[in-house]
Structure 1
Amino acid sequence: MGEKILKDADLHRSTAANQDTHDAHSVEQVTEISGVSTAVAALDPNSEEYKVMEKRLVRKIDIRLMPILVLLYILISTARDNGLVRDLNLLDKEYQTALSILFVGYITFQIPSNMLMTRLGRPSLYIPTFVALWGVVSACTAAATGYHSLLAVRICLGVVEAPFFPGALALLGYFYKKEEMATRTALLFSGSIISNAFSGLISAGILSGMEGKAGLPSWRWLFILEGSITVAIAGMAVFILPDMPGNSKFLTPEERIIAVNRLSVNAGSTLSTADEDGTPMQGFFMAVKDIKTWVLAFMLTAVTVGVGFNQFFPTIVGSLGYSHTVTLLLTAPIWFFAFLACLANGLHSDRVQERTLHIIIPLVFGIVGFIIASTTTSLGARFFALFIEASSYAGYTCVLGWIAPSIPTPKYKKAVALALINAFSQLGNISASYVWPKKWGPKYWQSNTISSAMFVACIVLVLLHRTMLKMENAKLDQIKNDLLSGGKGMYEEDGKGLDPESHLAVDGQSKKQQTRIAMAKSSFRYML
């Protein structure tokens, strides 16, 4: 089957002139695998053979990549107070500061971390190393004796936590096409949601069974045990996580070729040469200058403030009047429902290849939940409102799944943009730390109003981003039409023309222009 798929490069080039429609499907490059240079050309995504092999490849990547990423995310999403506030004699503002101080290191190190990981090309070593460090530092929380020692641990925790999530998003972008990202992003973030669902159950068990063991309160045991387990799982992840598609040992040589090329075709560029990839700093400046980066950054920040209730969910659920242990148990079904909502929304978004409505609709439901929670003290109505609020995470995960397809190339720009957007959005988490103070309970109408306003702001930015991408798609269509018309210099930008026969730049065509032309010639279009 592989011989049929990897067609002869010379034959393809000789027939390409009479098959302009093949431009959308053809990619030619030389890939080094086991010291052998293999000519790769003419992979047609519409052929049945290709679809069978691609489906098998994606399934293999899913099995290898997604379970371990989700597990790692579960492990690093387990920060809970569970008596810490009481035993360390923390004031409400001190606890809020301890929560938010983590973001100092978390925000600062995300961009350089993603640049370094992309440069090294070894996510299988890079990500588990920092997850293991996270486990060590998290376990050190058990040694905190007061406010200042807790602050020191939290700052260090932010530094070692910074590489995971943007690195995981970048890793997904290395292996999955744009129409596969919403589902995988929802699955990745399900690690956090599942943690919210079941950490309450785990915490309840530890709190009831470990109190006083070896003279330690149960909350210290919670950090010690969870930190130790994290280090052990991170050590296993080194042997499970893949690297880049072109050097992942769990793929056969044939599968590596297809894994590289399906992403190349999907992005409208080969994405393989140093000239196209540029340098990390070039990628940084390209990401900073792209208006889409900032629209997405503010979009993700707004929705992050809106879902900031997750940091205080046990406290909010506790306002229903149940005991601490029962409150922890009640959070499980709420977050499990949120997980199902995220997964269903992501699957449908990828199936219909649409993002806008799959973000807006969950946020509208979230706003309804906030309104219900603010206007009644009825136990049933408020419990129902908590389910709806938690399901708004489906919109959040879909925003995450929209980032990589909106900034597909080159790889350093994409890596920096993912880290920059996620880092910037943590300003929303810092703000959210102060949006849900206990003094505003039990109705929290002020908190619900702020969250609703942030969801509205996110919806406005979603519509703006969609309009921008639609305009970009129209430009790409126009460029392709100009090229197919056969006239020289039909596409003009900054007074520089293009020779449509050779597809080579003339009069000093910029790399930006060449990239846009390559995207126009391909089947790539931004997902709306």
Structure 2
Amino acid sequence: MVQHKSPVSTPSPEKLDEKVRLEGGGHMEPQDVSLKYTDTNGFDDGKGSDESESDQGLPPKPKSIFETREQIPDSLAHLTTEELEKLASKTRLRMDFRILIMLCWIYICNQLDRTNIASARLGGLEDDLNLTSLQYQTAVSILFVGYTIFQVPSNIVLNRLGKPRLFISVLMTLWGGISASCAAAHSFAALAVLRVLIGVVESGFFVCCLYYLSCWYTKKELTFRNAILFSGSLLSGAFSGLLSAGIIKGMDGVAGLQPWRWCFLLEGLLTVVTVPFSYIVLPDNPSNTRFLSQMEKDIVIWKLKMDVGEYDDDEAVLQDHNNYRFALKLAVRDPKVWLIAGTVSCLVASSGVQNFYPSVVETLKYDRIKTLWLTAPPFFIAMICTWCWARHSDITQERFFHMLIPVPIAIMSFLVAMLSTKTAPRYFAMCLMPASIYSSYIICISWISHIVPRPPLKRAVSLAMMNTVANVMLIWNGFLYPRSSAPSYKIALSFNIAAECLAVIFALTLRLYLMRLNKKIAAGTMDWQKEMGADGRNINKSFRFMF
């Protein structure tokens, strides 16, 4: 997404030296002066910090850019520190209401259309179309074939187009229409073709939203906003069961249609009717939006710039290499991208249980309506947990241990569900599954924007690569949940345990690699040309990769 530069005033080193000498009453020798440079997280250049922190590749202690006022735009220069903080808070709140509510609603519709096949199964889909268990699993998994293939192209198009509201609104309206068309399927072949098309069109949404939010929010704000975005998926997981329960119970036989057809039709039409409003509500990017004042736009762009030291602009960073081939090469050759992709892939593999959640909960031996109602509480619990966990990660500016801590809880929930046949412990385990899996997942999908911050096109490609590799898992994951494996689903749940353990190995390797890179940055030996296709002359001295 192309963003234009805002005017900034950068005092010369000589003027800053003079200012420090004057403030010190003229008693400070020039060699004792240590100028501070900070990023949005407030990390200074480390000259006054403990040497052991530098040796470990850790970022120096925080100090707000509102205090240092480094490279502050001219339009904001007259404001005090308190006024800058108040303006930033007000602007962030306006962004949240304008962007997050709309994206969260679209994501609810997205997940309803993606996972309603699980509820349709309880509404007679298999019996009506004479599907075998294998054919049903294929219909679930085949969506991810189209979904994975078009991830990278979608994000490149979004970045080059620079009009996310147009891109999102058109794409998602098309996918709602295709989802509603599943109601007209009369054979396995027709259902499979429609599911592939849904995957192709849908591929442009979630990963584009991750990139879109990274163009508006700093690394200290992004994880919590990604959690709010993802709550659309969790709310959908809750409401999908409730909505489908009402449709199956109240629409059976209406207009001569089976209840599963009404599930597809009504939930698809909900998307078609509401999503086009996103074109009116969503802004494109901070530099050209009309809902913010000039000062508000400047403070957003300033904060984003000071996150790294470079503008969040492809032309400014890549210059003569501003093309998708070069950005793709940077991403493919970056070990960080593959390590975070491996971590997320394993977490996504273990989350495949969501597509079969009604079937898994059905093993508690309740009727199909109660089964759908019982799918709701685990997702409400997951939403609250992911919000709190992401917020804490943003406050502490820590990622690895926030990814790690929920893993043992997820493993325990899989073990209990696999080994116990009693209703209470089994349902308790099912309540823990989404909360633990997605608490780690939210941290990781935000982590990549912090470790691949510039240029934007490389970040867009890296996000798409991560999501592509991760969703490959869901192509074959559905085959782990045949009805013959009920009620224990031992193969699937054992696989989920192994996937969670492997995610930890990937994340630990990434942490060690980031520590190594941070030591290079501290020593001044970092190869910025290899990292972002530029010489790195504008990178903040305080910048460190977050882990």
Query: TM-score band (shorter)?
Result: 0.7 to 0.9
1:272 Cα shift?
3.2
Distance 1:514 1:318, change over 3 A: same
| 1:443 and 2:488 matched | yes
Q: Is the 8 A contact 2:139 2:195 kept in 1?
A: yes
Deviations 1:47-83 (A, max 9, x none): 3332221111111111111111010000011132322
User: Which residue of 35, 55, 61 corresponds with 2:95?
Assistant: 61
The one-letter code matched in structure 1 to 2:487 is P
| 1:527 and 2:546 matched | yes
1:431 Cα shift?
2.8
Corresponding residue for 2:30?
none
The one-letter code matched in structure 1 to 2:545 is Y
Deviations 1:136-174 (A, max 9, x none): 100110111101011110111111101000110011100
User: Which residue of 510, 527, 538 corresponds with 1:518?
Assistant: 538
Corresponding residue for 2:233?
192
Corresponding residue for 2:441?
396
Deviations 1:371-430 (A, max 9, x none): 111222111111111112121221111111111111100010000101111011011112
Q: Distance in 1 between matches of 2:315 and 2:490?
A: 54
Q: Distance in 2 between matches of 1:10 and 1:351?
A: 29
The one-letter code matched in structure 1 to 2:543 is F
Distance 1:22 1:345, change over 3 A: closer
Corresponding residue for 2:354?
310
The one-letter code matched in structure 1 to 2:252 is E
Q: Is the 8 A contact 1:64 1:240 kept in 2?
A: yes
Q: Secondary structure at the match of 2:282?
A: coil
Corresponding residue for 2:43?
none
1:273 Cα shift?
5.9
1:444 Cα shift?
1.6
The one-letter code matched in structure 2 to 1:526 is F
Distance 1:261 1:148, change over 3 A: same
Distance 1:7 1:447, change over 3 A: closer
Q: Distance in 1 between matches of 2:71 and 2:392?
A: 33
Distance 1:372 1:218, change over 3 A: same
Unaligned runs of 5+ in 2: 1-5, 21-34, 40-64
Q: Distance in 1 between matches of 2:8 and 2:455?
A: 28
Alignment of 1:182-331 (within 5 A): 182-272=223-313, 274-277=315-318, 278-331=322-375
1:23 Cα shift?
6.5
Q: Distance in 2 between matches of 1:510 and 1:462?
A: 22
Task: Please report the TM-score for the alignment, with normalisation by the length of structure 2.
Answer: 0.84
Q: Secondary structure at the match of 1:270?
A: coil
- Tell me the matched-pair count: 488
| 1:415 and 2:435 matched | no
Q: Distance in 1 between matches of 2:176 and 2:275?
A: 9
Q: Distance in 1 between matches of 2:386 and 2:404?
A: 13
1:258 Cα shift?
1.4
Distance 1:177 1:445, change over 3 A: same
Distance 1:478 1:139, change over 3 A: same
Q: Distance in 1 between matches of 2:522 and 2:526?
A: 14
The one-letter code matched in structure 1 to 2:87 is M
Most deviating of 271-280 and 351-360: 271-280
Task: Please report the TM-score for the alignment, with normalisation by the length of structure 1.
Answer: 0.87
Q: Is the 8 A contact 2:356 2:481 kept in 1?
A: yes
Q: Is the 8 A contact 1:96 1:433 kept in 2?
A: yes
Q: Is the 8 A contact 1:476 1:516 kept in 2?
A: no
Q: Which has the higher contact order (CA 8 A, sep 6+)?
A: 2
Corresponding residue for 1:107?
148
Identity of aligned residues (%): 34
Q: Is the 8 A contact 1:268 1:523 kept in 2?
A: no
Q: Distance in 2 between matches of 1:88 and 1:235?
A: 32
Q: Is the 8 A contact 2:317 2:533 kept in 1?
A: no
| 1:358 and 2:402 matched | yes
